[in-house]
Structure 1
Amino acid sequence: MASTKPSRLRRSTLGDDIYDVLRARILEHSMQPGDRVNIDALARELEVSQTPIREALARLESDGLVRKRPLVGYTVSPLLTRAEFTRMFEMRLLLECAAARWAAERATSGQRAAISAEAATSIAQEPDDAGGWRWHAAFTTHDARFHDLIAEASGNPLLRDGLERLHVHLHLHRRYFPYAHAGTTIEEHHRVAEAIEAGDPDAAEAAMRRHLTEACERQLTAFD
């Protein structure tokens, strides 16, 4: 996959631009898990000094996307092990089931409509999309947005922030997502959205629990 590079970095937001570029490369696997980050090469490529590169890497380290090791420097974080992946879903079950319940109780009419609209989003594959990579990227964006809308509607910013950090690690595994089961995922999203739209917290929590439990089982096949 081609690396992500803006045609021109805006000097007023240089640090944010570089952070966004490097984050996208990591999540797209242009920078592979385990790769060493060459700060000198990045500075030359992006035509900036090393300072904003190091600042961006410090932010990415906080996100858990890179690691800093003595005498080695920064490397891209490895993919989660099967045990780590399972523990991540255990945390998602705790947080996202609560988020769905609270969204059903607290969401505004606008937030309910946005969740339902996202669940109803149809993503068609383009004829020239060899391998379906653009479709995969669009579906990944849709899935992340759906879950984030629910977290936002929960009315708890700390919960939403915690989920965002968990989802960063999930994104690293997106290449191995069982896209053949995307239709099942969409159906599960519909059930969650319908319960939130109806203001039924018990049904929303149950639908989210079922969705995450089955999603975890589907994605664990990547470790086989």
Structure 2
Amino acid sequence: MGSVIVASELEGRLKGRVQAARRSVLTEDVYERVKSLIMNGDLEPGARVNIYAVARLLDVSQTPVREVLAALESEGLLTKEALRGYSVASVLTPDQVADLYQLRLLLEPWAAARAAERVTPDGAARLRAELGSLPQAPQGTRYEDYHDIAAHDARFHDLVAELSGSPALRDSLQRTHGHLHLFRIEYEGRSSGEPTLAEHARICAGVTSGLPEEAEQAMRDHLTAARERFLRIGPSQ
């Protein structure tokens, strides 16, 4: 069981460490700040996340906080129980990570091949633009440091799924990516993102060139390598 953090305790632990959210981009700002608390381990797995405490902590109304907590639940970072509210989801075990990657290996190589078969000039341009949005992997051990590559990775895989033309597959993969976020609490900051970018480049080449077999194999190789990187490093003990 993780710790239970009530409103006053949450404020007491984190007051002064979190800046008030900028009102000009309120919901997005609240989202990033709450997510960073989870991803950096300031809110531990099992900790309750009180709407009122978060609103006071960030100096915002409860409305954007409710929207953000619902979004984080849909991503798998939070869980919600009747009469108890939101809690930080448990970190995946290595076996659960391996299981999720097995699912991805069944779905995403097919999606990459299908995307290559269906690719249009606009789709190819979008995929190249996403690949070019992060020319170099960032370094650092906190969520703020590796946020860019984590966000790029999610966008890249989501775009390939979108280009495959299967909304059901895309929805399934979005949920799968959300489940892997918590494993990244301990993983991302201790791993270089350069292999990921190189593997994405190979997938992009296969899809944009309209080569289904090459795109499928590139995606399979990427997921296999990513799984091994996750499981080799694993969460810190």
Q: Structures share a fold, TM > 0.5? A: yes
Which amino acid is 1:42 matched to?
V
- How many residue pairs match? The answer is 218
Which residue of the other structure, out of 103, 115, 125, is the alignment partner of 1:103? Answer: 115
Counterpart position of 2:161: 151
Q: Deviations over 1:68-118 (max 9, x none)?
A: 346654210011111211111112112211210111011211211232343
Change in Cα spacing, 1:132 to 1:82, as seen in structure 2 (3 Å) is closer
| Residue 93 in structure 1 maps to residue 93 in structure 2 | no
Q: Any unmatched runs of 5+ in structure 1? A: none
Contact 1:4 1:25 in 2 (8 A): no
Q: Any unmatched runs of 5+ in structure 2? A: 1-13
Which amino acid is 1:194 matched to?
A
Counterpart position of 2:150: 140
- For 1:60-209, what aligned pairs fall within 5 Å after superposition? 60-69=72-81, 72-120=84-132, 121-123=134-136, 135-175=145-185, 176-177=187-188, 180-209=191-220
Contact 1:35 1:76 in 2 (8 A): yes
Contact 1:5 1:21 in 2 (8 A): no
Change in Cα spacing, 1:149 to 1:63, as seen in structure 2 (3 Å) is closer
Counterpart position of 1:213: 224
Other structure's SS at 2:48 match: coil
Change in Cα spacing, 1:171 to 1:124, as seen in structure 2 (3 Å) is closer
Whole-Å separation in 2 of the counterparts to 1:135 and 1:100: 29
Other structure's SS at 2:197 match: helix
Which amino acid is 1:210 matched to?
D
Moved more, 29-38 or 183-192: 29-38
**TM-align CA RMSD:** 3.3
Q: Deviations over 1:141-199 (max 9, x none)?
A: 22222212212211222222221111112222234137654332222222211111221
Whole-Å separation in 2 of the counterparts to 1:124 and 1:37: 32
TM-score normalised over the length of structure 1: 0.78
TM-score normalised over the length of structure 2: 0.74
Which amino acid is 1:186 matched to?
L
